[in-house]
């Protein structure tokens, strides 16, 4: 388990987590669920270092675990084509992993020569997922609403890719989806209560 014993975080006077304990499996796909404002986007950003924190437990966890948070904001070089973007990050992904993910058709051939700035929101999601799922030397992959903007077929392919990657590492997905397709659910119920259960066990 990649567990955190006590998480505290607030934005000013607005408390998000107050002594919350979080148990995370070593591998598998975990859906982080909860109502708007509960912290389901804040938690992966904290774990991925996107939000600064004085919480010593999160700092300890980040020293022990290699975690990466990626979303469409990662794609800042709009003048690069998709193919050029993939080539740029190749040292972080490697040819074999990237080829494997490309084989699942998250990226279409016409997209390869399209500039990132000209991609639709759904296409940007596809590119981010392709890169994220191919990253090497990562213990925990943190994704915020990765299926937003994808059509039904794209969503099915993306789910398959994430489940395959989850066989060897932990993939934490913040989501508002009602479908229970992941291996586990991590439900934020109160500021101090975050519960892990098999997917679909608590509906």
What is the CATH classification number for the domain harbouring 171?
A: 3.40.50.300
Convert the pLDDT of each residue in 165-200 to its tens digit: 999 999 999 998 888 899 999 998 888 888 888 887
Residues 6+ apart with CB under 8 A from 66: 137, 138, 139, 140
Note the pLDDT of residue 201: 63
Look at residue 203 and tell me if it is in a domain.
no
The pLDDT confidence band at residue 152, using thresholds 50, 70 and 90, is very high
Say if residue 144 is exposed, middle or buried (CB neighbours under 10 Å; 0-12, 13-18, 19+).
buried
Domain that holds residue 19: 4-198
> In the chain, what percentage of residues exceed pLDDT 90?
65
Indicate the pLDDT class of residue 156, thresholds 50, 70 and 90: very high
The verdict on residue 61 lying in a domain is yes
Reported pTM = 0.89
Per-residue pLDDT reduced to its tens digit, 3-40:
898 899 998 888 999 999 999 999 999 999 988 888 88
Length of the chain: 203
pLDDT band at residue 2 under the 50/70/90 scheme:
confident
Total of domains in the chain: 1
Mean pLDDT value across residues 75-92: 92
């Amino acid at each position: 388990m990649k567990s955190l014993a006590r998480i505290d975080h607030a934005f000013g006077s607005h408390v998000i987590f107050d002594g919350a304990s979080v148990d995370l499996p070593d591998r598998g796909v975990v859906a982080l669920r909860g109502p708007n404002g509960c912290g389901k986007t804040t938690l992966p950003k904290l774990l991925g270092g996107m939000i600064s924190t004085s919480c010593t437990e999160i700092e300890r966890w980040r020293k022990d675990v290699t975690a990466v948070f990626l979303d469409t904001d990662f794609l800042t070089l709009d003048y690069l084509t998709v193919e050029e973007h993939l080539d740029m990050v190749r040292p972080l992904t490697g040819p074999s992993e990237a080829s494997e993910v490309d084989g699942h058709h998250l990226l279409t051939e016409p997209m390869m020569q399209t500039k990132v700035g000209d991609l639709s929101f759904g296409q940007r999601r596809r590119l981010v997922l392709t890169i994220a799922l191919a990253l090497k030397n990562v213990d925990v992959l943190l994704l915020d609403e990765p299926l937003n903007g994808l059509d039904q077929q794209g969503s099915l392919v993306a789910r398959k890719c994430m489940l395959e990657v989850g066989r060897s590492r932990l993939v934490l997905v913040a989501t508002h989806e009602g479908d229970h397709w992941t291996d586990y659910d991590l439900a934020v119920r109160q500021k101090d209560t975050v519960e892990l259960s098999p997917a679909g066990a608590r509906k």
